[in-house]
Amino acid sequence: MTFKAAAIQMCSGVDPEKNAVEMEKLIREAAANGAVYVQTPEMTGAIQKDRAALRAVLKDEDTDIIATTAARLAKELGIYVHVGSTAIARDDGKIANRGFLFAPDGQRICTYDKIHMFDVDLDNGESWRESAAYEPGTNARVATLPLASFGFAICYDVRFPSLFRTEAVAGAEVLTVPAAFTRQTGEAHWEVLLRARAIENGAFVIAAAQAGVHEDERETFGHSIIVDPWGKVLAVAGGAGAEIIYAEIDPSAAAAARGKIPNLKNARDFKLDTVKAASSAGGEAA
């Protein structure tokens, strides 16, 4: 059975309530156009560099405005709503970068906390230390829905192929990568990484992204994308603000791709040997 998926691109600001209003408008538009699975980007609730300001607006998952709005819309519209992620106050006082998946009855199916923290030093002095604010997740997750089996990841997770391989081996036919990629890394790596994850796992990839210049002055790459299991780009957005992209998803295409190239089944365990060559300077090593 095929289904219509939508990836919502946003340019979230610092106010979760305003972002919730924008998210609702876009989800309603996607549902009106026939989408039964709708994904929003990483940090849908707020893009906020100032950690103190971010903490000031944090809620737990039961009262967070993004999560509660998504649950309400899923029930009202009768669709699956996947909040790519939003910042959530944990019971232990730490912050989670947490995604949510809601069913058409409004019930929460599952959550996923981003595992890999974006701690990097890029060119031109651009540095990020996500681990200074967020507690990393520890569990990969696959959710089997009537539509298909979905595997979860968030943004920087895309650079860790073993996460996606684990989910694909567990049956995921659709791999999800909501993101807020920087412009610098997005221009270099965004599409090639996502197409690689699709190809090597024989799975669809759906990646809703943040796009444009945000209130906190950071810039994200956008170009939300949907890729099929053969690596073909089915839909892609631009790089400057809100947009919705759509694609028809046929889960049987994942089985077909894996049948042609059964690398998930052909993978073998192996041992690693390291060899140190003798120095070539001045003859044999003493």
C-alpha to C-alpha distance for 124 and 101, rounded to whole angstroms: 37
Catalytic residue among 4, 11, 155, 167: 155
Asked if 11 is an active-site residue, the reply is: no
Catalytic residue among 17, 24, 94, 114: 114
Number of H helices, E strands in the chain: 7, 16
Amino acid at 63: T
- In terms of C-beta density within 10 A (0-12 exposed, 13-18 middle, 19 or more buried), how is residue 27 classed? buried
Catalytic residue among 17, 22, 29, 42: 42
User: Is 69 strand, coil or helix?
Assistant: helix
Which are the contacts of 285, defined by CB distance < 8 A and separation ≥ 6?
A: 278, 279
C-alpha to C-alpha distance for 153 and 140, rounded to whole angstroms: 8
Asked if 59 is an active-site residue, the reply is: no
Catalytic annotation, residues: 42, 114, 155
